[in-house]
Amino acid sequence: MAFRKSKFYLAILYLVVVLVGSNWVWNASQHGLYQAHNEQLERFAEFISSKLDKYAHLPQLIAKNKALISALQHPTNSAQIELTNRYLEQVNQTIQSTDTYLLDEFGNTIASSNWNLERSFLGRNYAWRPYFSEAIQGKPSQYFALGSSSKQRGYYFSYPVTYAAETIGVIVIKMDLTAIEANWQNKTNIFVATDPYNVIFMSSHENWLFKSLSTLSEHDRQTIINSRQYLDRPIRSFGFSGDLDAKHSQLTHPTIPGFENDYLISSRQLSNHPLTLRVLTSKITLLWSTLSFWLITTLIFVIVYLSMQLSFQRQLKKRQFEQLQLEAKQKLEFLVMERTSELQAEIGERTKAEHALRQTQNELIQAAKLAVLGQMSASISHELNNPLAAIRSFADNGRRFLEKTHYHRVDENLSRISALTDRMAKISHQLRSFAKKSDSNEVSPAELAPILIAAHELLAPQFKSQLVKIQLDIEDDLAQANINPIQLEQVLINLLTNAIQALEHSSNKQVNLSAHQTQERVVIMVDDNGPGIPFDLQAQLFEPFYTTKKNGLGLGLSISHQIVQAMKGTLTVSESPLGGARFTLSLPTIARSTITKSQ
């Protein structure tokens, strides 16, 4: 019962709000439209006045030109007429008017800016135009009409040309009105400019031109025809009824009912020009505003009604909803548990896959090391054979010196044997360190210079056997970096080995290993004077299984690139100053203050 009363009171409130509110919205929208009309009329009036005033004083200035006076005094002098034509043409182009022409005291055109065009005014008589009749009497004149030659609308400015206090001719400037109308485009409003008979001479709608807003009397229609202001164009009437002299008014169409044919109109008379500017807006605009208010109000009340209905229904179905909610909660918990179990299984599988990937990568790194050791085996064997042969020779000599009791010579041979064994032990230690298996995640602060020197010494036999000159250029006091020393040494050996192989067919073989420090990085460069690497192949060089060697696997540089990235460094290739290739390895340094604190 209470719900039915609430619906009844809501319906009464809805009717009151719609009736009162619609009336208020209609009046407010109408007032707002009139205010918008005023602003538009103010803007357009200022724009039109500035455009027309721009040309209003130009005829007076041109009328003082001696060429015009000479042409009027000697109209049969063809040279003077041609000079005046060209002068008017130049003036017309400068002031950007439609036409500029000179009339004698009888209204005949003796010179014109369009003298060389088919529509030339030369020889035409315009004595019947008001702008001539007023100007020949010594008064400046303004007039708007259809051009008798061009059939185009124009606004005419005329001024008398005087000589010795006598008017001997008239200068006329015609202005095009199209530029003014171009600023009147609006989807909602219609803009018009009317003459004293309410005939539309300018409009934002082309089909409104040369029509009268109100019904013309027969006397007014005959006056317009006799003036030939609009030539022979028929002047039709819209037949609106309303007060066109008021600042704001409403126009209705007696024979065609409907809001779309009725208008709200605002008018403003230009002070210095015989034109009245008007803005018209269809009354249907107000109807749409009122209908919008009605629609929004209806929607609000519908929402209120539905809210009441929903609240009522919610009370009736509260228990059923709670039961459904409980079932949905249990089902959701089951789905969450099931999905959590699946995610844990997926995480376990992904962890295993990542571990297997890291293990495979470390195995590839170790395989690459052993491959490098295999490549260096011949030169290392040669490097070890020489000390062994020397040791045997020194041992035999020592035995003979011992028989001869030359003990000091025996001591010399033993000292040389000891030095050779140290050399062999150093080579063996370097090989064991290089062959040691390491994890890519094992990084720690370390000096870079000893690693560079160790890589050089490990490949020294290979450089010697391949007749390659190696030059070291390592700055003193290089900063430390977070690196894996064993893997970094492998990268350097790989780059140096590639440089040696690139020089296989070169005669003068040269490799440079240099290292210098920038502000926050240590840059290591390996240069060679080999054939180099073409620019279009450099981008693919670090991709797995891509190689430029006949028997290469294409993994060396790819693994080296991954090792350097794991140490937060970069490995790039470019052209070397030596003419071959340059591999640049850049590593971030550790601030010395950070090292001290960590220690």
* CB hemisphere CA count around 189 (13 angstroms): 21
Residue 499 lies in a domain: yes
**Burial (0-12, 13-18, 19+ Cβ within 10 Å), 381:** exposed
**470 and 431 housed in the same domain:** no
Is residue 225 classed as helix, strand or coil in its secondary structure?
Answer: helix
> Does pTM top 0.85 for this prediction?
no
Q: Return the bridge partners of 280, or none.
A: 190, 265
**416 and 341 housed in the same domain:** yes
pLDDT at 511: 92
Closest CA to 493 of 411, 371, 361: 371
Q: Please give the residue range of the domain that contains residue 543.
A: 441-588
**534 and 430 housed in the same domain:** no
**583 and 472 housed in the same domain:** yes
Two tokens, residue 596: 């001290």
> If residue 497 lies in a helix (H) or strand (E), which one and from where to where?
helix 485-502
Is residue 47 classed as helix, strand or coil in its secondary structure?
Answer: helix
Report the chain's terminal Cα–Cα distance, integer Å: 86
**96 and 175 housed in the same domain:** yes
Total domains, the chain: 3
**394 and 476 housed in the same domain:** no
pLDDT at 249: 84
CATH code of the domain in which 524 resides:
3.30.565.10
pLDDT at 376: 53
pLDDT in tens, the chain (599 residues): 566 777 777 788 878 888 887 788 877 887 888 888 888 888 888 888 787 877 888 898 888 888 888 898 888 888 898 999 999 999 888 888 889 999 998 999 999 998 888 888 888 898 888 888 889 998 898 888 877 777 778 888 999 999 888 889 999 998 887 767 776 777 778 888 888 888 888 888 878 888 888 888 888 888 878 778 777 788 888 778 888 888 888 888 777 766 667 888 888 888 777 788 888 888 877 777 788 878 888 888 888 888 877 877 777 787 777 777 888 888 888 888 888 888 888 888 888 877 776 666 666 555 555 555 555 554 455 456 556 655 766 677 677 777 777 777 777 777 767 765 765 666 666 555 555 555 556 778 888 888 888 778 777 877 888 888 998 888 888 888 888 887 788 788 888 888 888 888 888 889 999 999 888 899 999 999 988 888 877 777 777 766 766 555 566 777 788 888 888 899 898 889 988 889 999 999 886 544 444 43
**551 and 521 housed in the same domain:** yes
Residue 341 lies in a domain: yes
The answer to whether the CB of 474 falls within 8 A of the CB of 449 is yes
**422 and 475 housed in the same domain:** no
Q: 415, 437, 459 — which closes off a domain?
A: 437
**476 and 348 housed in the same domain:** no
pLDDT at 548: 66
Two tokens, residue 453: 């020197």
* 313 φ, ψ (degrees, to nearest 5): -65, -30
Q: Give, in order, the Cα–Cα distances in Å from 244 to each of 75, 199, 212, 265, 286.
A: 48, 12, 11, 8, 20
